[in-house]
Amino acid sequence: MSSDMHMAIDTIAVHGGIDKLQFLPAVPPIYQTSTFGFESAEHGAQLFAGRGEGYIYTRMGNPTVDAVERAIATLEGGARALACGSGMAAIHTTFGALLKAGDHIVCSEAVYGPTCTLVTKFLPTYGIEATTVDTSDLDAVRAAMRPNTKVLYVETPGNPTLVVSDLAETARIAHEAGAKLVVDNTFMSPILQQPIRHGADIVVHSLTKFLNGHADVVGGVIVVKDENDYPQFRKTLNHFGGVLPPFESFLVHRGIKTLSLRMARHCENALKIAEYLEGHDQVEWVRYPWLKSHPQYEISRKQCTGGGAVISFGLRGGVEAGRRMMNAVKLCMLAVSLGGVETLIQHPASMTHASMGAEARKKAGIDDGMVRISVGIEDADDIIADLDQALAAAAGKTAECASHVAAT
Ligand code: LCS
């Protein structure tokens, strides 16, 4: 697909990034090499000076990696993309490119646990101040901005609370304050949400999730809207070193071809399961962006084309009931991560968000009893049957436990 063709996102997902390949292979070959030969000493010197066509060394660029980067940049509507060794590497590289000692960052309080730790514990050791706020509360965001704020970092929907932040409004606040809006788009994928089209400057993803989609790669990506920002990001990634290797790039590029189909099935299944959970008497509360009960339902409908795959909920029996339910699932896998074809279930307070600490979890609304599901692309009725038997098992044991407590 030539880069000057304007296609729908489903078409871009299949053909994006493979327009510049030699010999016209249907899929990009894996250039499994760490280094590239120069035609001459002059040619090598030219490439190092940033002139001429060719590759130098895989940390600095590789055709297989370039192909997946072009595909993702096109899907997100950005100028360029940089594939990284993990989502955390993408986020760290972004901070490295945009922040220096004396700067300030404002960050969503509900984010992936290690992102919160990176922002609130690591950045201050580099002399960078950090404030976390509920980024769905625009007044709170406005109040948190300072003259030295260089980055407004928004994860929407937030992991694991699914709090949705308004992209167009947060972009306006960031730009009025002279800061860049960085959006973690992992939970939506570019199929469901394209933050750059709403004003974001930078988008990051954990490729480990929907973009790869098959739970067999750890990777991340940065997409920059403005070509002028790209050299600083490339330089930072080159020096920090957290790049995505060629084989992983090949796998992610392959995964992207079915992204649109997978997202449609994820969303269809997840809405059905969220409605099932909401109607279950043992379930106290459910959060899913496309449930009408979600506090930011309207915003999610406005800026996204689907609710995604992730649901969080709490059981009437609290932490113990949730634990029993997670131990009783048979089809769903008790594991962290999300965005793969298989349904995963986990406990944020003791797993993905344990590193944040109890105080930050409380501030972010991460209840100790919260259970999180990443709904896969299996048959929705099979997932519901499994959840049903697990909820029944949890209830049985809760009743047993209650009667035991009453008897003693
Ligand atoms: N951003 C979000 C929103 C995430 O959910 C994760 C990982 C990352 C960034 C980091 O990506 P990684 O370095 O792992 O590729 N989220 C995980 C989760 O919820 N369970 O396990 C990992």
19 included as an active-site residue: no
User: Pocket residues for ligand 1 (CB within 6 Å)?
Assistant: 86-88, 112, 115, 155, 159, 184, 186-187, 206, 208, 218, 220, 336-338, 352
Q: Which two tokens stand for residue 216?
A: 């067999």
Same domain? For 169 and 21 the reply is: yes
Same domain? For 18 and 130 the reply is: yes
CA atoms of 212 and 204, how far apart (whole Å): 14
Question: From ligand 1's centre to the CA of 195, what distance in Å?
Answer: 18
CA atoms of 325 and 339, how far apart (whole Å): 21
pLDDT tens digits, 139-172 = 999 999 999 999 999 999 999 999 999 999 999 9
Q: What is the pLDDT, as a whole number, of residue 18? A: 79
What band does 3 get if pLDDT is binned at 50, 70 and 90?
Answer: low
Question: From ligand 1's centre to the CA of 391, what distance in Å?
Answer: 27
What band does 396 get if pLDDT is binned at 50, 70 and 90?
Answer: confident
Determine the atom of ligand 1 nearest the C-alpha atom of 220. Answer: 15
Question: From ligand 1's centre to the CA of 87, what distance in Å?
Answer: 6
Question: 66, 103, 166, 184: which is the annotated catalytic residue?
Answer: 184
The sign of the dihedral angle between the CA atoms of 87, 188, 335, 372 is: positive
Same domain? For 221 and 344 the reply is: no
Query: What range does the domain containing 374 cover?
Result: 260-407
Question: 112, 153, 230, 288: which is the annotated catalytic residue?
Answer: 112
184 included as an active-site residue: yes
Domain boundary among 256, 280, 312: 256
What band does 312 get if pLDDT is binned at 50, 70 and 90?
Answer: very high
Share of the chain above pLDDT 90, in %: 87
Tell me the CATH number at 195: 3.40.640.10
Q: What is the pLDDT, as a whole number, of residue 2? A: 67
Residue 41 lies in a domain: no
Pocket test for ligand 1, best of 159, 337, 343, 350 (most atoms within 8 A of CB): 159
pLDDT tens digits, 229-284 = 999 999 999 999 999 999 999 999 999 999 999 999 999 999 999 999 999 999 99
β-strands 202-206, 180-184 pairing = parallel
Determine the atom of ligand 1 nearest the C-alpha atom of 90. Answer: 13
What band does 193 get if pLDDT is binned at 50, 70 and 90?
Answer: very high
pLDDT tens digits, 18-60 = 777 777 888 989 999 999 999 999 999 999 999 999 999 999 9
Q: What is the pLDDT, as a whole number, of residue 405? A: 37
CB 394 within 8 A of CB 328: yes
Pocket test for ligand 1, best of 119, 165, 209 (most atoms within 8 A of CB): 209
What band does 1 get if pLDDT is binned at 50, 70 and 90?
Answer: low
How large is the average pLDDT for residues 370-387?
98
How large is the average pLDDT for residues 207-216?
98
- 367 pLDDT exceeds 80? yes
Question: From ligand 1's centre to the CA of 209, what distance in Å?
Answer: 8
What is the number of alpha carbons within 13 Å of residue 307 lying toward its C-beta?
26
Residue 177 lies in a domain: yes
Give 300 or 363, the one with higher predicted confidence.
300
- 68 pLDDT exceeds 90? yes
Q: What is the pLDDT, as a whole number, of residue 21? A: 73
pLDDT tens digits, 70-96 = 999 999 999 999 999 999 999 999 999
Same domain? For 267 and 375 the reply is: yes
CA atoms of 352 and 338, how far apart (whole Å): 11
Same domain? For 379 and 322 the reply is: yes
Same domain? For 312 and 252 the reply is: no
- Residue 53: is it exposed, middle or buried by C-beta count within 10 angstroms (0-12/13-18/19+)? exposed
Same domain? For 88 and 170 the reply is: yes
CB 132 within 8 A of CB 84: no
Pocket test for ligand 1, best of 111, 164, 206, 352 (most atoms within 8 A of CB): 206
Same domain? For 102 and 206 the reply is: yes
Same domain? For 251 and 266 the reply is: no
How many domains are there within the chain?
Answer: 2
Q: What is the pLDDT, as a whole number, of residue 252? A: 98
Domain boundary among 256, 272, 287: 256
Question: From ligand 1's centre to the CA of 203, what distance in Å?
Answer: 14
Same domain? For 274 and 241 the reply is: no
Same domain? For 315 and 235 the reply is: no
Q: What is the pLDDT, as a whole number, of residue 77? A: 98
Q: What is the pLDDT, as a whole number, of residue 206? A: 98
Mean pLDDT score of the chain: 94
Please report, for residues 95, 135, 176, 187, 349, the alpha-carbon distance to residue 209 in angstroms, rounded to integers and kept in the order given: 21, 23, 33, 8, 20
